[in-house]
Amino acid sequence: MKPEVVNHKNFNLNTNLISKNCLSIISKLHRKGFQAYIVGGGVRDLIQKLDPKDFDIVTNCEPGQIRKIFKNSRIIGRRFKLVHITFPDEIVETTTFRSDSKDNEGSIEVNEKGRILRDNSWGTQEEDVKRRDFKINSLYYDPFKGEIIDYFGGIKDLGNKNVTFIGDPEKRILEDPVRILRAIRFAAKLNFSIEKSAKKIILEQKHHLYEISPARIYEEVLKLFLSGHAEMSYKILNEYKVFEILFPHVSDVNEEFENFFLTAFKETDRRYKVGKKLNPGFIFALLLWPKIFKKSNISKNINFRNFYQSISEVTRKQQVITSVPKRFTSFIKDVWMHQPRFQRTGRKTLRFSNNLRFRAAFDFFLLRHSIEPNLKNDIEWWTEFRTANYDKKIKLLNSRGRKFAKN
Protein backbone atom coordinates (compact mmCIF):
# COMPACT_ATOMS: atom_id res chain seq x y z
CA MET A 1 0.00 0.00 0.00
CA LYS A 2 1.38 3.36 -1.01
CA PRO A 3 -0.14 6.20 0.99
CA GLU A 4 -0.56 9.80 -0.05
CA VAL A 5 1.75 12.00 2.02
CA VAL A 6 0.52 15.57 2.37
CA ASN A 7 2.34 18.51 3.93
CA HIS A 8 0.40 19.96 6.86
CA LYS A 9 0.87 23.45 5.44
CA ASN A 10 -1.75 22.54 2.82
CA PHE A 11 -4.35 22.72 5.59
CA ASN A 12 -2.93 25.63 7.57
CA LEU A 13 -3.24 23.58 10.76
CA ASN A 14 -3.31 25.44 14.04
CA THR A 15 -0.43 23.51 15.61
CA ASN A 16 -0.75 25.58 18.80
CA LEU A 17 -3.76 23.42 19.61
CA ILE A 18 -1.64 20.28 19.81
CA SER A 19 -1.06 19.06 23.33
CA LYS A 20 2.47 19.77 24.57
CA ASN A 21 2.40 16.46 26.45
CA CYS A 22 1.51 14.66 23.24
CA LEU A 23 4.43 16.31 21.42
CA SER A 24 6.84 15.38 24.21
CA ILE A 25 5.77 11.71 24.03
CA ILE A 26 6.23 11.56 20.25
CA SER A 27 9.60 13.28 20.51
CA LYS A 28 10.83 10.83 23.15
CA LEU A 29 9.65 7.81 21.15
CA HIS A 30 11.45 9.17 18.08
CA ARG A 31 14.65 9.59 20.11
CA LYS A 32 14.34 5.96 21.22
CA GLY A 33 14.18 4.89 17.57
CA PHE A 34 10.42 4.27 17.28
CA GLN A 35 7.83 5.57 14.86
CA ALA A 36 5.09 7.65 16.48
CA TYR A 37 2.16 9.62 15.09
CA ILE A 38 -0.94 11.48 16.15
CA VAL A 39 -3.82 9.46 14.78
CA GLY A 40 -7.59 9.58 14.46
CA GLY A 41 -9.86 12.30 15.79
CA GLY A 42 -7.10 14.74 16.68
CA VAL A 43 -5.85 14.86 13.08
CA ARG A 44 -9.40 14.95 11.70
CA ASP A 45 -10.44 17.85 13.91
CA LEU A 46 -7.29 19.88 13.20
CA ILE A 47 -8.00 19.62 9.45
CA GLN A 48 -11.65 20.55 10.08
CA LYS A 49 -10.57 23.65 12.05
CA LEU A 50 -12.05 22.26 15.25
CA ASP A 51 -10.45 22.26 18.67
CA PRO A 52 -9.57 18.58 19.29
CA LYS A 53 -10.84 17.17 22.57
CA ASP A 54 -7.74 15.00 22.90
CA PHE A 55 -4.84 13.54 20.95
CA ASP A 56 -4.16 9.82 20.59
CA ILE A 57 -0.75 8.46 19.67
CA VAL A 58 0.07 5.31 17.69
CA THR A 59 3.52 3.77 17.52
CA ASN A 60 5.44 0.61 16.67
CA CYS A 61 6.59 0.51 20.29
CA GLU A 62 4.80 -2.30 22.15
CA PRO A 63 2.88 -1.67 25.39
CA GLY A 64 5.52 -3.21 27.65
CA GLN A 65 8.23 -1.09 26.05
CA ILE A 66 6.12 2.08 26.32
CA ARG A 67 5.62 1.32 30.00
CA LYS A 68 9.40 1.10 30.53
CA ILE A 69 10.10 4.34 28.66
CA PHE A 70 7.38 6.35 30.46
CA LYS A 71 7.31 5.76 34.21
CA ASN A 72 4.15 7.88 34.45
CA SER A 73 2.16 5.27 32.50
CA ARG A 74 0.04 2.17 32.96
CA ILE A 75 -1.19 -0.56 30.64
CA ILE A 76 -4.98 -0.92 30.52
CA GLY A 77 -7.46 -3.07 28.61
CA ARG A 78 -7.91 -6.78 28.05
CA ARG A 79 -9.66 -6.83 24.69
CA PHE A 80 -7.12 -4.39 23.31
CA LYS A 81 -4.11 -3.37 25.39
CA LEU A 82 -3.10 0.26 25.32
CA VAL A 83 -1.10 2.61 27.49
CA HIS A 84 -2.27 5.66 29.39
CA ILE A 85 0.55 8.13 29.92
CA THR A 86 -0.49 10.38 32.79
CA PHE A 87 0.32 14.06 33.31
CA PRO A 88 -1.07 16.43 35.96
CA ASP A 89 -3.48 17.97 33.44
CA GLU A 90 -3.98 15.22 30.88
CA ILE A 91 -3.96 11.50 30.07
CA VAL A 92 -2.55 10.67 26.63
CA GLU A 93 -3.70 7.38 25.14
CA THR A 94 -0.91 5.55 23.30
CA THR A 95 -1.50 2.41 21.24
CA THR A 96 0.65 0.03 19.22
CA PHE A 97 0.18 -0.65 15.50
CA ARG A 98 -2.23 -3.58 15.16
CA SER A 99 -1.77 -6.51 12.82
CA ASP A 100 -4.12 -8.65 10.73
CA SER A 101 -2.06 -11.74 11.45
CA LYS A 102 -3.63 -14.54 13.50
CA ASP A 103 -0.39 -16.47 13.81
CA ASN A 104 1.28 -14.45 16.53
CA GLU A 105 1.01 -15.25 20.21
CA GLY A 106 -1.76 -13.19 21.81
CA SER A 107 -3.30 -12.65 18.38
CA ILE A 108 -6.78 -11.62 17.29
CA GLU A 109 -9.56 -13.66 18.90
CA VAL A 110 -12.89 -13.65 17.11
CA ASN A 111 -16.15 -15.36 18.09
CA GLU A 112 -18.53 -17.23 15.80
CA LYS A 113 -20.32 -14.00 14.85
CA GLY A 114 -17.12 -12.25 13.80
CA ARG A 115 -16.95 -10.16 17.00
CA ILE A 116 -13.40 -9.26 18.00
CA LEU A 117 -12.89 -10.49 21.57
CA ARG A 118 -9.17 -9.79 21.79
CA ASP A 119 -6.90 -7.79 19.54
CA ASN A 120 -3.33 -7.77 20.80
CA SER A 121 -1.35 -8.72 17.73
CA TRP A 122 1.14 -6.02 16.81
CA GLY A 123 2.10 -5.08 13.26
CA THR A 124 3.05 -2.28 10.90
CA GLN A 125 1.42 1.02 10.04
CA GLU A 126 0.17 -0.52 6.76
CA GLU A 127 -1.57 -3.28 8.73
CA ASP A 128 -2.79 -0.94 11.45
CA VAL A 129 -4.63 1.38 9.07
CA LYS A 130 -6.76 -1.52 7.80
CA ARG A 131 -7.99 -2.11 11.35
CA ARG A 132 -9.28 1.44 11.79
CA ASP A 133 -13.00 1.98 11.47
CA PHE A 134 -13.56 5.01 9.21
CA LYS A 135 -11.48 6.69 6.55
CA ILE A 136 -11.73 10.07 8.27
CA ASN A 137 -10.12 8.48 11.36
CA SER A 138 -7.30 6.76 9.46
CA LEU A 139 -4.96 9.75 9.05
CA TYR A 140 -1.50 9.65 10.66
CA TYR A 141 0.24 12.92 11.45
CA ASP A 142 3.91 13.43 12.25
CA PRO A 143 3.96 16.95 13.75
CA PHE A 144 7.77 17.18 13.55
CA LYS A 145 8.04 16.29 9.87
CA GLY A 146 4.81 18.13 9.16
CA GLU A 147 3.43 15.16 7.20
CA ILE A 148 -0.09 13.70 7.08
CA ILE A 149 -0.16 10.11 5.84
CA ASP A 150 -3.38 9.05 4.12
CA TYR A 151 -3.86 5.43 2.98
CA PHE A 152 -7.60 5.33 2.25
CA GLY A 153 -8.61 8.77 1.05
CA GLY A 154 -9.56 10.13 4.44
CA ILE A 155 -8.69 13.66 3.34
CA LYS A 156 -11.04 13.30 0.36
CA ASP A 157 -13.85 12.07 2.66
CA LEU A 158 -13.34 15.12 4.88
CA GLY A 159 -13.72 17.33 1.82
CA ASN A 160 -16.83 15.46 0.66
CA LYS A 161 -18.30 15.36 4.20
CA ASN A 162 -18.64 11.57 4.23
CA VAL A 163 -18.33 8.97 6.97
CA THR A 164 -17.13 5.87 5.10
CA PHE A 165 -16.13 2.52 6.61
CA ILE A 166 -12.73 1.04 5.81
CA GLY A 167 -13.54 -2.30 4.22
CA ASP A 168 -16.92 -4.05 4.18
CA PRO A 169 -19.35 -2.17 6.50
CA GLU A 170 -21.16 -5.37 7.50
CA LYS A 171 -17.96 -7.12 8.54
CA ARG A 172 -16.69 -4.06 10.39
CA ILE A 173 -19.99 -3.68 12.30
CA LEU A 174 -20.06 -7.38 13.21
CA GLU A 175 -16.46 -7.06 14.48
CA ASP A 176 -17.63 -4.30 16.82
CA PRO A 177 -21.28 -3.11 16.75
CA VAL A 178 -20.30 0.04 18.67
CA ARG A 179 -19.09 1.30 15.29
CA ILE A 180 -22.76 1.99 14.54
CA LEU A 181 -22.84 4.55 17.35
CA ARG A 182 -19.46 5.94 16.35
CA ALA A 183 -20.61 6.46 12.74
CA ILE A 184 -23.70 8.28 13.97
CA ARG A 185 -21.66 10.38 16.39
CA PHE A 186 -19.18 11.53 13.76
CA ALA A 187 -21.98 12.31 11.31
CA ALA A 188 -23.72 14.38 14.00
CA LYS A 189 -20.58 16.14 15.21
CA LEU A 190 -19.24 17.04 11.76
CA ASN A 191 -22.58 17.40 9.95
CA PHE A 192 -21.46 14.63 7.57
CA SER A 193 -23.40 11.89 5.78
CA ILE A 194 -22.90 8.19 6.48
CA GLU A 195 -22.17 6.22 3.30
CA LYS A 196 -25.43 5.04 1.70
CA SER A 197 -24.40 1.39 1.50
CA ALA A 198 -24.08 1.29 5.30
CA LYS A 199 -27.65 2.38 6.11
CA LYS A 200 -29.30 -0.93 5.19
CA ILE A 201 -26.60 -2.82 7.11
CA ILE A 202 -27.04 -0.65 10.22
CA LEU A 203 -30.81 -1.22 10.12
CA GLU A 204 -30.23 -4.97 9.86
CA GLN A 205 -27.41 -5.26 12.40
CA LYS A 206 -28.37 -2.67 15.04
CA HIS A 207 -29.74 -5.36 17.37
CA HIS A 208 -26.15 -6.55 17.93
CA LEU A 209 -25.70 -3.50 20.17
CA TYR A 210 -27.53 -5.53 22.83
CA GLU A 211 -24.48 -7.82 22.93
CA ILE A 212 -22.12 -5.01 23.90
CA SER A 213 -21.34 -4.35 27.55
CA PRO A 214 -23.65 -1.76 29.17
CA ALA A 215 -20.56 0.17 30.31
CA ARG A 216 -19.37 0.73 26.73
CA ILE A 217 -22.87 1.72 25.56
CA TYR A 218 -23.15 4.18 28.46
CA GLU A 219 -19.90 5.88 27.45
CA GLU A 220 -21.04 6.15 23.82
CA VAL A 221 -24.41 7.64 24.86
CA LEU A 222 -22.56 10.35 26.80
CA LYS A 223 -20.45 11.15 23.74
CA LEU A 224 -23.58 11.36 21.58
CA PHE A 225 -25.50 13.70 23.87
CA LEU A 226 -22.93 15.65 25.90
CA SER A 227 -20.49 16.81 23.21
CA GLY A 228 -22.38 19.72 21.63
CA HIS A 229 -24.35 17.78 19.01
CA ALA A 230 -27.17 16.20 21.01
CA GLU A 231 -29.94 17.46 18.75
CA MET A 232 -28.33 16.09 15.58
CA SER A 233 -27.42 12.83 17.34
CA TYR A 234 -31.05 12.34 18.30
CA LYS A 235 -32.23 12.96 14.73
CA ILE A 236 -29.74 10.51 13.19
CA LEU A 237 -30.37 7.88 15.87
CA ASN A 238 -34.04 8.04 14.93
CA GLU A 239 -33.32 7.99 11.21
CA TYR A 240 -31.35 4.75 11.62
CA LYS A 241 -33.82 3.38 14.20
CA VAL A 242 -31.06 3.03 16.77
CA PHE A 243 -32.73 5.23 19.40
CA GLU A 244 -35.24 2.44 19.99
CA ILE A 245 -32.35 0.05 20.66
CA LEU A 246 -30.74 2.32 23.24
CA PHE A 247 -34.02 3.26 24.91
CA PRO A 248 -36.52 0.50 24.04
CA HIS A 249 -39.01 1.29 26.81
CA VAL A 250 -39.31 4.85 25.48
CA SER A 251 -39.59 4.03 21.77
CA ASP A 252 -43.36 3.45 21.79
CA VAL A 253 -43.93 7.10 22.77
CA ASN A 254 -40.89 8.59 21.06
CA GLU A 255 -42.75 10.46 18.28
CA GLU A 256 -45.19 11.96 20.76
CA PHE A 257 -42.28 13.47 22.70
CA GLU A 258 -40.17 14.64 19.78
CA ASN A 259 -40.73 18.32 20.57
CA PHE A 260 -39.70 17.70 24.20
CA PHE A 261 -36.49 15.99 23.11
CA LEU A 262 -35.60 18.57 20.46
CA THR A 263 -36.18 21.45 22.88
CA ALA A 264 -34.10 19.73 25.56
CA PHE A 265 -31.25 18.84 23.23
CA LYS A 266 -31.10 22.34 21.75
CA GLU A 267 -30.67 23.66 25.28
CA THR A 268 -28.06 20.98 26.05
CA ASP A 269 -26.05 21.98 22.96
CA ARG A 270 -26.35 25.67 23.89
CA ARG A 271 -25.00 24.99 27.38
CA TYR A 272 -22.09 23.00 25.93
CA LYS A 273 -21.17 25.79 23.53
CA VAL A 274 -21.02 28.42 26.29
CA GLY A 275 -18.96 26.14 28.50
CA LYS A 276 -21.59 25.29 31.11
CA LYS A 277 -21.30 22.02 33.00
CA LEU A 278 -23.45 19.13 31.77
CA ASN A 279 -24.57 16.36 34.11
CA PRO A 280 -24.90 12.82 32.67
CA GLY A 281 -27.75 12.18 35.09
CA PHE A 282 -29.71 15.11 33.68
CA ILE A 283 -29.46 13.82 30.11
CA PHE A 284 -30.68 10.38 31.17
CA ALA A 285 -33.51 12.00 33.14
CA LEU A 286 -34.57 13.67 29.88
CA LEU A 287 -34.18 10.56 27.74
CA LEU A 288 -36.23 8.36 30.07
CA TRP A 289 -38.89 10.89 31.12
CA PRO A 290 -41.61 9.99 28.55
CA LYS A 291 -42.36 6.65 30.21
CA ILE A 292 -42.55 8.24 33.67
CA PHE A 293 -44.79 10.98 32.30
CA LYS A 294 -47.20 8.59 30.61
CA LYS A 295 -47.50 6.06 33.43
CA SER A 296 -47.91 8.57 36.26
CA ASN A 297 -50.31 11.02 34.53
CA ILE A 298 -48.28 13.77 36.23
CA SER A 299 -49.59 16.48 33.90
CA LYS A 300 -53.20 16.15 35.11
CA ASN A 301 -53.92 14.11 38.20
CA ILE A 302 -50.79 12.31 39.29
CA ASN A 303 -51.00 8.73 40.47
CA PHE A 304 -48.16 8.61 42.98
CA ARG A 305 -48.14 4.84 43.18
CA ASN A 306 -47.63 4.57 39.42
CA PHE A 307 -45.17 7.46 39.55
CA TYR A 308 -42.78 5.80 42.00
CA GLN A 309 -43.29 2.37 40.47
CA SER A 310 -42.41 3.62 37.00
CA ILE A 311 -39.30 5.40 38.31
CA SER A 312 -38.03 2.14 39.75
CA GLU A 313 -38.98 0.09 36.70
CA VAL A 314 -37.55 2.41 34.05
CA THR A 315 -34.20 2.94 35.78
CA ARG A 316 -33.83 -0.80 36.41
CA LYS A 317 -34.52 -1.72 32.78
CA GLN A 318 -32.20 0.94 31.43
CA GLN A 319 -29.32 -0.39 33.50
CA VAL A 320 -29.36 -3.57 31.41
CA ILE A 321 -28.49 -1.48 28.34
CA THR A 322 -26.49 1.42 29.77
CA SER A 323 -24.89 0.91 33.16
CA VAL A 324 -25.47 4.37 34.62
CA PRO A 325 -23.30 4.83 37.74
CA LYS A 326 -25.18 4.89 41.04
CA ARG A 327 -24.38 8.55 41.75
CA PHE A 328 -26.21 9.50 38.56
CA THR A 329 -29.19 7.17 39.05
CA SER A 330 -29.66 8.85 42.43
CA PHE A 331 -29.55 12.26 40.70
CA ILE A 332 -32.06 11.11 38.04
CA LYS A 333 -34.54 9.91 40.65
CA ASP A 334 -34.21 13.13 42.67
CA VAL A 335 -34.91 15.30 39.62
CA TRP A 336 -38.00 13.24 38.76
CA MET A 337 -39.34 12.99 42.30
CA HIS A 338 -39.09 16.76 42.76
CA GLN A 339 -41.34 17.45 39.76
CA PRO A 340 -44.70 17.12 41.60
CA ARG A 341 -43.48 19.70 44.12
CA PHE A 342 -43.55 22.42 41.46
CA GLN A 343 -47.29 21.96 41.00
CA ARG A 344 -48.18 22.61 44.60
CA THR A 345 -46.93 24.95 47.30
CA GLY A 346 -47.06 24.70 51.04
CA ARG A 347 -45.04 24.88 54.21
CA LYS A 348 -42.12 22.96 52.70
CA THR A 349 -41.78 25.18 49.62
CA LEU A 350 -39.12 27.45 51.13
CA ARG A 351 -37.05 24.49 52.23
CA PHE A 352 -37.48 22.86 48.83
CA SER A 353 -36.12 25.97 47.07
CA ASN A 354 -32.89 25.52 49.06
CA ASN A 355 -32.58 21.84 48.22
CA LEU A 356 -29.29 20.68 46.65
CA ARG A 357 -31.15 19.35 43.58
CA PHE A 358 -33.57 22.27 43.25
CA ARG A 359 -31.78 24.02 40.38
CA ALA A 360 -31.53 20.85 38.28
CA ALA A 361 -35.16 19.96 39.03
CA PHE A 362 -36.24 23.51 38.12
CA ASP A 363 -34.34 23.39 34.79
CA PHE A 364 -36.08 20.10 34.06
CA PHE A 365 -39.45 21.63 34.97
CA LEU A 366 -38.87 24.44 32.45
CA LEU A 367 -38.21 21.91 29.68
CA ARG A 368 -41.51 20.15 30.43
CA HIS A 369 -43.38 23.20 29.17
CA SER A 370 -42.74 22.12 25.55
CA ILE A 371 -45.22 19.25 26.03
CA GLU A 372 -47.26 20.66 28.93
CA PRO A 373 -48.58 24.15 28.05
CA ASN A 374 -50.70 24.04 31.22
CA LEU A 375 -47.51 24.60 33.24
CA LYS A 376 -47.16 28.18 32.00
CA ASN A 377 -48.53 29.89 35.14
CA ASP A 378 -46.59 27.61 37.50
CA ILE A 379 -43.38 28.23 35.57
CA GLU A 380 -43.87 32.01 35.71
CA TRP A 381 -44.54 31.85 39.46
CA TRP A 382 -41.52 29.64 40.20
CA THR A 383 -39.26 31.72 37.97
CA GLU A 384 -40.11 34.78 40.05
CA PHE A 385 -39.98 32.88 43.33
CA ARG A 386 -36.56 31.36 42.62
CA THR A 387 -34.77 34.73 42.37
CA ALA A 388 -36.79 36.60 45.00
CA ASN A 389 -35.49 37.60 48.44
CA TYR A 390 -37.04 36.09 51.56
CA ASP A 391 -39.72 38.77 52.06
CA LYS A 392 -40.79 38.56 48.42
CA LYS A 393 -40.99 34.77 48.67
CA ILE A 394 -43.36 35.05 51.64
CA LYS A 395 -45.56 37.47 49.63
CA LEU A 396 -45.59 35.10 46.66
CA LEU A 397 -46.56 32.19 48.89
CA ASN A 398 -49.33 34.27 50.50
CA SER A 399 -50.58 35.23 47.03
CA ARG A 400 -51.21 31.55 46.40
CA GLY A 401 -53.54 31.37 49.35
CA ARG A 402 -50.92 30.15 51.79
CA LYS A 403 -50.60 32.33 54.89
CA PHE A 404 -47.02 32.54 56.11
CA ALA A 405 -45.71 34.85 58.79
CA LYS A 406 -42.30 36.49 58.47
CA ASN A 407 -39.65 35.15 60.82
Catalytic residue positions? Answer: 54, 56, 133
Q: Are strands 36-39 and 139-142 parallel, antiparallel or unpaired?
A: antiparallel
The amino acid at 74: R
> Nearest-CA neighbor of 219 among 305, 323, 79, 349?
323
The upper half-sphere exposure of residue 364, i.e. CA atoms within 13 Å in the direction of its Cβ, equals 30
CA torsion angle 177 183 185 191 (round to 10): -170
Q: Are strands 56-59 and 90-96 parallel, antiparallel or unpaired?
A: parallel
Give Cβ neighbours of residue 64 (< 8 Å, ≥ 6 apart): 75
In SS3 terms, 166-233 reads as CCCHHHHHHHCCHHHHHHHHHHHHHCCEECHHHHHHHHHHHHHHHHCCHHHHHHHHHHHHCCCCHHHH
d(CA 181, CA 234): 11
d(CA 42, CA 48): 10
Q: Cβ(192)–Cβ(162) under 8 Å? A: yes
d(CA 152, CA 166): 8
Instruction: Please name every residue paired with 150 in a beta bridge, in sequence order, or none if there are none.
Output: 4, 139
Q: Cβ(90)–Cβ(96) under 8 Å? A: no
d(CA 23, CA 8): 16
